[in-house]
Structure 1
Amino acid sequence: MGPGSANPYAGLVRHLRATWQSGRTRPLEYRVSQLEALGRFLEEKKQDILEATALDMGKPSFEAFFTEILLCKNELNNTLNNLSYWMKDESVDKNLVTKLDSAFIRKDPYGVVLIIAPWKYPIHLLLVPLIGAIAAGNCVVIKPSEVSKNSERLVAETLSCYLDNDCFAVVTGGVQETTRLLENKFDYIFFTGSPGVGRIIMTAAAKHLTPVTLELGGKNPCYVSDSCQVQNVARRVAWGRFFNAGQTCIAPDYVLCTLEMQEKLMPALREAIVEFFGPNPKESPDFGRLVGDKEFQRVRALLGSGRVAIGGQTDEAERYIAPTVLADVLPSDPAMQEEILGPILPIVVVANMDEAIDFINARPRPLTVYAFSSDSKVVNQVLERTSSGGFCGNDTLMHFTLTSLPFGGIGNSGLGKYHGKFTFDTFSQKRGCLHRSMGLEPLNSPRYPPYSQQKLGLMMAAFEVKRRGICTLL
């Protein structure tokens, strides 16, 4: 008896597959109706979303509205505005033999797909992939994170009231339930989380040869050159690092700068933190909390790296860690060994830009590289000489807000891209299609045996692709 026969989710997956095979999800009208239903969910459950994320991690309503509602609506409206165009067959170039035929790329749905979301942005990182999966015509199993339990409950109890339950299902639970869920054959898996769990997902997917998108994380370097407007840098870096109490996979994870710049940045960062959160951030309604006790303890342990130059206060009962800046951090320190996902910003001193670039390139490729400089040549040097999933010059997080840019990692930080049309493409199987005429059979005779030199000559004339601009002397 195989693992699937007694699997608690086998029946659910089978039911979704039967619906998908019936063709229900394929028409444009159906996809639009389900996407519009998601829009109603975002509108009608707005207050519930703000409350759930506030309970889960003290997320300020401004931050929750911006990331969990507004950016999701942008994704939704961009998809609804363009879906009929994205779905169209794409014509392609043809050779001499197929000039009279139809050659095109059909965007087929994969079938039954699985989306596993994390706790950091529990609504956004669930709905944005879901929008693309629905737009592409798939049936979907949605697995919200059990860590952000209030958001999980909200999704589990209310999403089914908006979506077609024959095509879309929410599965809840922890590691054990996810492990059993992954024993089933899915046609695509979209996972957001840590590289360690990403490997487990990929291993499970390999058993069924299921393609995956892995949105992982990592340590995003932020190089600050000696020539920059220090106050502007401090505010933009502090905003990116302390947004959502640092629980953001694209947050600047550490700063690379010279000793001289560290001395200039420190008072500017202190000023920015007071400007944002007041003299006691613990009392600020605009500063969040760690999502759970385990996360709190893990992040608090990182405070032993370098020296605490700003902040450092903690309150276990509230899962509060103050916005903290660590100075003179060594590459061997604990804060440099793992993704921080908390309100701590280490500063690592380097001699110059070349050393900063070498430092970045000696480590696993990050989700984002940040570079600050008043000299655009410096920003371009960092862009050209490093590799990462994304890049943002002279700001933090803002590249994430554009549906026109692909978002995703490379290497250790992930596999695959999404946002806007890239999400639709991720959940669409590009099917190469050629539709030929039943007649005109004499045109095919050169390819049939018996072969001859003359036939080969005709085939070359009909099929050969020549390089442009090169004159061949016969």
Structure 2
Amino acid sequence: MITSLVKKQKDFFSSGSTKDLKFRKTYLKKLQKALTYYEDQICDTLYEDFKKPKFESLASETQFVLFELKEALKNIDSWSRPKRVSGTWINFPSSDWIYSEPYGNVLIMAPWNYPFLLSLSPLIGALAAGNTAILKPSEFTPATSGIITKIIAEIFPEEYVTVIEGGIKESQELLSQKFDYIFFTGSTKVGKIVYQKAAENLTPVTLELGGKSPCIIDNTVSIPVTAKRIAWGKFLNCGQTCIAPDYLLVHKDVKTKLVEALIKSIKELYGNSPQESPDLARIAHNSHYNTLKEMLIGEQLLFGGDFNDKTLFISPALVDEPDLKSKIMEDEIFGPLLPIISYDSEEDIKKHLSHYGKPLALYIFSKNKKFRERLLNGYSFGGGVINDTLLHITNSKLPFGGVGASGVGHYQGKYSFESFSHQKSIIKKRFWPEIPFRYAPYKVTEKIAKKLKYLFN
């Protein structure tokens, strides 16, 4: 089934239909209309899958996607238009251009933590660029995957866009096909598998992965504001956010005050009994829930850490000074557990940051501009925010992506369109005038060759 479906999509792409801008706009508008119509039902499925609060579903999933659609429809003409660039003297007279062309048949593999956003957002970029697409949503959020399948089937013929539901078996079968581009969001571990499979066919990829994103707090900050912004960024979606602060490195002089302020902020956000709060999601599936529970074994808790096995509830937990070799500091946490580690000098910060690979995000809370700039310029990471968390993903004019183990490539807005497009270089020449010195025999013109470098500028 999957093999024949891939062939149908490749044949449809070869027909040239998706290269027509009017065709692309028509289907993007249909998608926009359908998502607006189904928005409440989408929020209901997100709640069914892991009790995601409706505000979070709207703000971080459906409205985010609708904004991406609006941006694509507004800008698709200019994004698609050939871009003229300046030429060189060696080619004079000529006109030099960059043409954007779609890759062809693409595979989009989405995760479970933002199952709607991270399925539809890359899909919009793929369609705006003129590709056909197969979308593989997560099996761990079946209700949301189901409504995505329903919406896509209502709008698109399967030879243009279709959804393949299922688990590891279906993912393996998809990865055994020869796609023209693969877009994967998920863990670094699985990302490596996807990369290896793509390499067999030299298929280009975007990999949106993760890592242990640090949050550094010095002794110049406003403690109450810092605490509230960290608590919001960390516990949004119950900590199941790839760019959530994974651990805090806080100056020893303000650690006690920050912990007190964090506890106060958590209570303000979710009440004295977070389990009863309608504003805190649950863990998406059993396997990850059990992993998070294991992370707390043997750790010193400053606050929280309550569990409910029936509802997959974990309350926001503050963990005091875990060892770098502990389970909670081994891998990305991806849940409502927040390790707090004190530092005394920038050497201490370096020891911790250099222990891990390049993270997807880095956050710095400080009024000290020189300190901030040293950190920004001294470490490699995907993106970040000064004196807040998560917000860099909200600006579609900024590319979103990782580096090294946290990802390959980037997307969002125009960057999504570019990720799903091959940039084709074109030089246009006339038949006159004809420059004779480039042709053999070279004896007369060989002295000119050493000076050619000046003609390239």
How far 1:353 sits from its partner (Å)?
3.0
How far 1:283 sits from its partner (Å)?
0.5
Q: Deviations over 1:289-330 (max 9, x none)?
A: 000111111111112253111101110001000011111222
Query: Counterpart in 2 of 1:455?
Result: 445
Q: For the structure 1 residues 72 and 305, does the alpha-carbon distance in structure 2 shift closer, same or farther, using more than 3 Å as the test?
A: farther
How far 1:457 sits from its partner (Å)?
4.2
- Out of 59, 68, 74, the residue aligned to residue 66 of structure 1 is 59
How far 1:83 sits from its partner (Å)?
1.2
Q: Aligned partners of 2:441, 2:378: CA distance in 1, in Å? A: 56
Secondary structure, in 3 states, of the residue corresponding to 2:422?
strand
TM-score (norm 2): 0.97
Within 5 Å, give how 1:82-121 maps onto structure 2.
82-121=75-114
Q: Aligned partners of 2:385, 2:297: CA distance in 1, in Å? A: 29
How far 1:459 sits from its partner (Å)?
5.4
Query: Counterpart in 1 of 2:429?
Result: 436
Q: Aligned partners of 1:383, 1:466: CA distance in 2, in Å? A: 35
Within 5 Å, give how 1:227-376 maps onto structure 2.
227-304=220-297, 306-376=299-369
How far 1:19 sits from its partner (Å)?
0.7
Q: For the structure 1 residues 305 and 241, does the alpha-carbon distance in structure 2 shift closer, same or farther, using more than 3 Å as the test?
A: farther
Q: Deviations over 1:379-426 (max 9, x none)?
A: 222211111011211101111111011101111101001111111110
Within 5 Å, give how 1:343-422 maps onto structure 2.
343-422=336-415
How far 1:94 sits from its partner (Å)?
1.6
Q: Percent identity?
A: 36
Within 5 Å, give how 1:130-209 maps onto structure 2.
130-209=123-202
Unaligned 5+ segments in structure 2 are none
AA of the residue aligned to 2:287: K
Q: For the structure 1 residues 305 and 396, does the alpha-carbon distance in structure 2 shift closer, same or farther, using more than 3 Å as the test?
A: farther
AA of the residue aligned to 2:454: E
Secondary structure, in 3 states, of the residue corresponding to 1:308?
strand
Q: Aligned partners of 2:276, 2:369: CA distance in 1, in Å? A: 39
TM-score (norm 1): 0.93
Aligned 8 A contact 1:96 1:462 in 2: no
Q: Aligned partners of 1:465, 1:130: CA distance in 2, in Å? A: 43
Q: Deviations over 1:1-57 (max 9, x none)?
A: xxxxxxx31110111111101100011111111211221122011011101110111
Secondary structure, in 3 states, of the residue corresponding to 2:98?
strand
Root-mean-square deviation (CA, aligned residues, Å) is 1.5
Q: Quick check: 280-289 or 160-169, which moved more?
A: 160-169
Unaligned 5+ segments in structure 1 are 1-7, 468-474
Q: Quick check: 326-335 or 338-347, which moved more?
A: 326-335
Q: Quick check: 100-109 or 125-134, which moved more?
A: 100-109
How far 1:463 sits from its partner (Å)?
6.2
Secondary structure, in 3 states, of the residue corresponding to 1:354?
helix
Q: Quick check: 323-332 or 417-426, which moved more?
A: 323-332
Query: Counterpart in 2 of 1:446?
Result: 437
AA of the residue aligned to 2:441: P
Query: Counterpart in 2 of 1:5?
Result: none
Q: For the structure 1 residues 328 and 435, does the alpha-carbon distance in structure 2 shift closer, same or farther, using more than 3 Å as the test?
A: same
AA of the residue aligned to 1:26: K
Q: Deviations over 1:142-184 (max 9, x none)?
A: 1111111111111112212122432111111111111011111
Aligned 8 A contact 2:108 2:184 in 1: yes
Q: Quick check: 22-31 or 456-465, which moved more?
A: 456-465
Q: Aligned partners of 1:90, 1:112: CA distance in 2, in Å? A: 24
Q: Aligned partners of 1:95, 1:69: CA distance in 2, in Å? A: 47
Aligned 8 A contact 1:57 1:291 in 2: yes
Aligned 8 A contact 1:95 1:462 in 2: no
How far 1:458 sits from its partner (Å)?
4.8
Aligned 8 A contact 1:113 1:140 in 2: yes
Q: Aligned partners of 1:230, 1:34: CA distance in 2, in Å? A: 48
Q: Deviations over 1:164-218 (max 9, x none)?
A: 4321111111111110111110000000000111111011111111011100011
Query: Counterpart in 2 of 1:212?
Result: 205
Q: Aligned partners of 2:348, 2:119: CA distance in 1, in Å? A: 38
Secondary structure, in 3 states, of the residue corresponding to 1:317?
coil
Query: Counterpart in 2 of 1:472?
Result: none
Aligned 8 A contact 2:175 2:197 in 1: yes
Secondary structure, in 3 states, of the residue corresponding to 1:318?
coil
Q: Deviations over 1:56-97 (max 9, x none)?
A: 111000000001111112211112111111111111222234
Q: Aligned partners of 1:413, 1:165: CA distance in 2, in Å? A: 32
Q: Aligned partners of 2:34, 2:346: CA distance in 1, in Å? A: 47
Q: Aligned partners of 2:366, 2:269: CA distance in 1, in Å? A: 23
Q: Aligned partners of 2:245, 2:12: CA distance in 1, in Å? A: 43
- Out of 190, 214, 224, the residue aligned to residue 217 of structure 2 is 224
Q: Quick check: 378-387 or 392-401, which moved more?
A: 378-387
